[in-house]
């Protein structure tokens, strides 16, 4: 009976380790995705800022405020 109990404990430990490893992998992927999203949003913000500045310059030129 002890042999079966030891085998069962071993298999439970193995399963627990596999679940923990998979959970860590999922968390790593989620973290990577969040970082990529953050970088994409920052890049989009910079592009919008540059376009807004370009529009402001055009308006200033058109109204003579850029002299």
pLDDT in tens, 7-62: 999 999 999 999 999 999 999 999 999 999 999 999 999 999 999 999 999 999 88
pTM of the model: 0.62
Task: Give the pLDDT confidence score for residue 25 in this predicted structure.
Answer: 98
Angstrom distance (rounded) from CA 28 to CA 10: 27
The pair phi, psi for residue 66, each rounded to 5°, is -95, 10
Task: Give the pLDDT confidence score for residue 2 in this predicted structure.
Answer: 74
Contacts of 59 (CB under 8 A, 6+ apart): 65
């Amino acid at each position: 009976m002890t042999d079966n109990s030891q085998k069962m404990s071993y298999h439970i430990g193995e399963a627990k380790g596999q679940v923990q490893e998979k959970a860590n992998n999922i968390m790593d992927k989620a973290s990577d995705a969040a970082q990529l999203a953050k970088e994409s949003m920052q890049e989009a913000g910079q592009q919008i800022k540059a376009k807004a500045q370009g529009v402001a310059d055009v308006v200033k030129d058109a109204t003579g405020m850029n002299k």
